A and B are shown apart, each in its own frame.
Chain A
Amino acid sequence: MKSRRLGITAALAAGAVLALLLSAYASGSGTVGSGKASATKSVCGLGNGKKAKGAPIKLGGIFTLVPGVDFTTIGKVAKAYFDCVNDNGGINGRPISYKLYTEQLKPDQDAALARKLATSDKVVGVVGSTSLIECAVNKNYWKQKGYYVVIAGVPGECFGSPNYSAVNMGPRYSDIGAAQALVRHGAKSIVIDSPNTIAAYANGGALLVAKAAGLPSKSFGENLPITDPNSIVQKLVQAAGPNGGVILDFTPESATPLMQAAIQQGVVDRVTWASSTPVADDALAKQFGAFDNGRILINSEFTLLDSTGPDMTLMRQVMKKYTPSIPVQSFAQMGFLVGKVVTDALLSIKGPVTKASYNAAVLKLRNIKSDIWCKPWYFWKLPYHIPNNTDITAGYKAGHVVQIDGCIPIQAVDPQLVQIRKWEKQYKLNTG
């Protein structure tokens, strides 16, 4: 009887100790994104670990979702960041409410969604939009309504309007980076293939790089979704010729069948492959071991996905908690950066958060630092913005995306980039 009582007492004591240990661990681990921001640690917004209450601050964005192109990942990760901000005190106590709308490449739909955001949802800011046509359709509307939109840009209009500033460099500049990488690594020609909707804009820069290097070049466009990857891959390899270079400028949904076709057709080793940023993804690196060790040169607009910098560490934590189904990838980096800079703008507002105060705050963003970018980012009163214009070159190795070349400025083959670099110096936009 005595021994039984002793046993119960011991079990209770052990339980109490375990409970104490667990609570100590729980308080030590804290909420994701909480704590004090420092050079080695990033936090979500205020980072105070308190749930935001009160009237939500409304934000929204428009994203392309069609077979072969899915940009909603960017919005989903931006939303994850805002959820983290909301769990860490929000914007001085107010939570952010973020609405994602999808569009199917219909201009009337894009125009209607913009009006819904502005007049029906009454958002204070338009944030994160990533679309193949939205910039062309709505740039004048945002100008008229006074919205300054932080986006991940795709077509030329996103990099040619005073009302947009993109966290990424978009396909044209990313393809220039890929073409530079091919030239550096000794390719004898440059062939580039993009979706037809953006080919005229996206491919042009890479052709100029080839011209500057004295290399032959050829440009192709494809209708999406891709329905004959084997023929397309043959076409590209034939056009590039022996020791040539082929740039694939597609999102993973469309790049995947082309890369798989290259393996199946046995042409991976016939050329050097290159790509714009979207295929910088560990899931693809695992799938496509045939492209390991420099067989593909990826122009990465952002740091490596397994980098241990403070923002990348926070991004992985945020995604693990708020969007566990989305793998860490370059689109996620875009979403995270959108969330970060928009939160910076919101927290810089003195007084009530309104459409006017938010958009005024956005226009004063400069020297925004992140270990995800090579150089600081900005949104300023300029006729157009190309703030992300320095990048790294990555490749695949043993199932991971690895760095091949460090930060290199995008070759200023476009007069717009020459002008941007002048403004950057003049207004000290990214001098740190």
Chain B
Amino acid sequence: MSSLVAFQIFGVDWEFLKPYIVLGFALGGVYALSGVGLVVLYRATGVLNLSFGAIGAAGSLISWYLVNHTGTPNWLAYLVCVAFGGVVTLAYGVFFGPAFAARDPLVKMMGTLGLALILLGLMAWRAPVDASTVRILTLPTSSWRYQIGNVYVTWTQIMALGLALALTVGTTAFLRFTGLGTAMRALANDREISATLGVPVRKVEAAAWFGSGLVAGSAGLLLADQLQTLDYSALTFLVISALAAALIGRLRSLWATLVGGIVIGLVQALLTPYLSISAYRGMTPFVLAIVALLWLARHRVVVISRTAR
């Protein structure tokens, strides 16, 4: 009710904005899902996975190929997409994770950028974006929909939001109440001490890589449906919004990441109908991430010192 009043105060028609709120929640759900996947991996391994979007894009392209060219049942193709995310991410983590373990976070991140570029190259080679191929991957849940006023809400949209929420709740509980979760939290605090205390570092990291990869695959599927396209570059750069959500959560808080992702999706969608600012809505993730970081750092004391020579 208060939101209704607020809209009236600013002279904005609630009915006019309703579709964008629905669409914003759906898109925000995918951003939040991806953001949470990024944060979980970062907390366990210290790696900010920039190949997150590319892995989801490659998985959804494989899924599309299986459905349209091999007659694979849809459910199996979707499963392959999710599994592809898990396996590729796990493989990267197992082979390259230990080598990067002692390096700076920036170096670790650049390693994943390498994986993203390799995947982008492979997709450009095998699935080039061209005018002659129509590639659409629509989940069956998108044909199940119901109407609220002038707006259709699909089950995929509900699923995107629900999955983000479930992942956040599940991961929070997992990290708090399970042995593996506790080990992940220990790794996040200090890898060396955890290893000394007998935490099986490689196994715990592998589990984090695999779990994060499964989320990447799922997010790829959902985003391919929401974006109505299998344009690999558009899907790959999902990582920008997810990254912004993770930054809003300061790469630590799953709940703040969830909220950050949803807010990014909402703001982006709500800016769409306003002609004067619509063209700049792509800036939303960056602007919100910067605002959030400045806000969160407002009580920090900055010490500037000069060392005497």
Measuring CB to CB, which residues of chain A are less than 8 angstroms from any residue of chain B? 67-68, 70-73, 196, 218, 220-221, 223, 225-232, 234-235, 238-239, 251-253, 256-258, 260-261, 264-266, 278, 283-284, 287, 325-327, 329, 331
Give Cα A413–Cα B138 distance, bound, in whole angstroms. 41
Contacts of A326 in B (CB 8 A): 132
- Interface flags, B124-154, vs A, CB<8A=1, else 0: 0000111111101010001001010000101
Give Cα A218–Cα B274 distance, bound, in whole angstroms. 12
Contacts of A228 in B (CB 8 A): 23, 27, 227, 268-269, 272, 281
Q: Is the CB of A68 within 8 A of B152?
A: no
Give Cα A278–Cα B130 distance, bound, in whole angstroms. 12
Q: Is the CB of B138 within 8 A of A260?
A: yes
- Contacts A253-B131, A264-B152, A326-B132 hold; do A220 and B275 have CB atoms under 8 A apart? yes
The residues in B between 214 and 259 inclusive whose CB is less than 8 angstroms from any CB of A are: 226-229, 231-234, 237
- Contacts A252-B134, A256-B136, A264-B142 hold; do A231 and B23 have CB atoms under 8 A apart? yes
Give Cα A238–Cα B269 distance, bound, in whole angstroms. 14
Q: Besides A67-B234, A218-B275, A231-B20, 13 other CB < 8 A contacts? A: A70-B128, A220-B275, A223-B279, A226-B229, A230-B23, A230-B226, A252-B131, A253-B229, A260-B136, A264-B138, A264-B152, A284-B134, A327-B132
In-complex Cβ contact of A227 among B16, B136, B152, B234 (8 A) = B234
Contacts of B145 in A (CB 8 A): 264, 266
Chain A min CB distance to B143 (Å): 8
Q: Is the CB of A238 within 8 A of B273?
A: yes
Contacts of A258 in B (CB 8 A): 228
Give Cα A252–Cα B16 distance, bound, in whole angstroms. 29
Contacts of A232 in B (CB 8 A): 272
Q: Is the CB of A234 within 8 A of B130?
A: no
Measuring CB to CB, which residues of chain B are less than 8 angstroms from any residue of chain A? 16, 19-20, 23-24, 26-27, 128-134, 136, 138, 142, 145, 147, 152, 154, 226-229, 231-234, 237, 268-269, 272-273, 275, 278-279, 281-282
Can you list 20 A-B contacts with CB-CB less than 8 angstroms, sorted by A residue number?
A: A70-B128, A70-B129, A70-B130, A227-B237, A228-B227, A228-B268, A229-B229, A231-B24, A231-B268, A234-B23, A235-B278, A238-B273, A253-B129, A253-B130, A257-B231, A264-B145, A264-B152, A264-B228, A283-B133, A284-B134
Give Cα A71–Cα B152 distance, bound, in whole angstroms. 35
Contacts of A229 in B (CB 8 A): 227-229
Q: Give B274's nearest chain A residue, CB to CB.
A: A235
Contacts of A327 in B (CB 8 A): 132
Contacts of A264 in B (CB 8 A): 138, 142, 145, 152, 154, 228
Chain A min CB distance to B91 (Å): 27
Q: Is the CB of A72 within 8 A of B130?
A: yes
Give Cα A264–Cα B142 distance, bound, in whole angstroms. 7
Q: Is the CB of B147 within 8 A of A266?
A: yes
Contacts of A70 in B (CB 8 A): 128-131
Give Cα A283–Cα B135 distance, bound, in whole angstroms. 11
Q: Is the CB of A231 within 8 A of B131?
A: no
- Contacts A196-B279, A234-B23, A235-B272 hold; do A253 and B231 have CB atoms under 8 A apart? yes
Give Cα A266–Cα B279 distance, bound, in whole angstroms. 25
Chain A min CB distance to B48 (Å): 21
Q: Is the CB of B279 within 8 A of A68?
A: no
Q: Is the CB of B229 within 8 A of A329?
A: no
In-complex Cβ contact of A329 among B129, B131, B226, B231 (8 A) = B131
Q: Is the CB of A257 within 8 A of B228?
A: yes
Give Cα A427–Cα B26 distance, bound, in whole angstroms. 59
Give Cα A72–Cα B147 distance, bound, in whole angstroms. 41
The winner among B132, B136, B152 for most chain A CB atoms within 10 A is B132
Give Cα A287–Cα B228 distance, bound, in whole angstroms. 13
Q: Is the CB of A231 within 8 A of B269?
A: yes
Chain B min CB distance to A341 (Å): 22
The winner among A227, A232, A325 for most chain B CB atoms within 10 A is A227
